[in-house]
Amino acid sequence: MSIFKGGFKCFIITKKQIMFMTAIVLSAVMVTVGTKMVFASSNKKLPIYCVQTDKKRIAISFDAAWGNDDTHTLVEILKKYDVPATFFVVGAWVDKYPESVRELSNAGHQIQNHSNTHPYMTKLPKTKMIDEIKTCNEKIKSITGVEPTLLRPPYGDYDNLLIDAVSECKMNAIQWSVDSHDWMENATADSIYERVVSRTENGSIILMHNDAEHTPEALPRILETLKKDGYEFVFISDLIYKDNYEIDHTGKQCECE
């Protein structure tokens, strides 16, 4: 209802209308669980971005989806600094470069799942998600003899359905807390180094790529500095908690007391 008063148009909203609009707003942002009201965003399921720990333990990871020019060089660098790494590989990459998968495994690194064809997983039905995961697992296991336990979603793209699919495959979904940005066109060895060392802290998961132009140049300095700072490099599977944990709203995995 509206009226004109003093040349201005005023709107009068009844108490019933206010209550109705309030209910709409609350239903859009909140859900009721029992007698407790919580923000709907709290229902969003998250992968593990990092781990809460007092220990100076971190994990470095490399995604392998396209090229392969630098994989052997990375293996040599990691060997020189005695650093274990987690490689997330795409099934199609395994098909194309089985000798590199074998080299990574023989060098003692962990080979984990980055999907079979590198799709946007949230655009797939759950059955296709599971097929992407299981097909890649089978390809990796056929070469390494070890079935992956971790999935890194392509493009960092995930939703509740994907987290459920990963869980059904008895795996953990993994993101990262330190993005090296080695994949960016304007990246340099110095910018990669500065980003990583300035953002790393206890429980960090570092993201790099096996075929980024300046990663081989930046990696030795990163490993030297972080080791000098007292950090121990471990596999992601050894960094994360296997049970009795929760993941907070930032994606940090915390051990339950």
Backbone angles phi, psi at 254, to 5 degrees: -120, 140
Tokens of 141: 């296991």
Find out whether 175 and 29 touch, Cβ atoms under 8 Å: no
Find out whether 130 and 165 touch, Cβ atoms under 8 Å: yes
Q: Please pick, among 63, 70, 182, 211, the residue that the annotation labels catalytic.
A: 63
Contact residues for 92 (Cβ-Cβ < 8 A; gap 6+): 65, 116, 117, 118
Specify whether 63 is catalytic. yes
Find out whether 43 and 187 touch, Cβ atoms under 8 Å: no
Contact residues for 238 (Cβ-Cβ < 8 A; gap 6+): 59
Question: How far, in Å, CA of 102 to CA of 89, rounded?
Answer: 12
Nearest Cα to Cα of residue 44 among 151, 162, 131, 127: 162
Diameter over CA atoms, the chain: 85
3-state secondary structure of 141: helix
Nearest Cα to Cα of residue 94 among 84, 107, 104: 104
Specify whether 114 is catalytic. no
Nearest Cα to Cα of residue 218 among 245, 247, 194, 246: 194
Q: Please pick, among 114, 118, 209, 214, the residue that the annotation labels catalytic.
A: 209
Q: Which residues are the active-site residues?
A: 63, 209
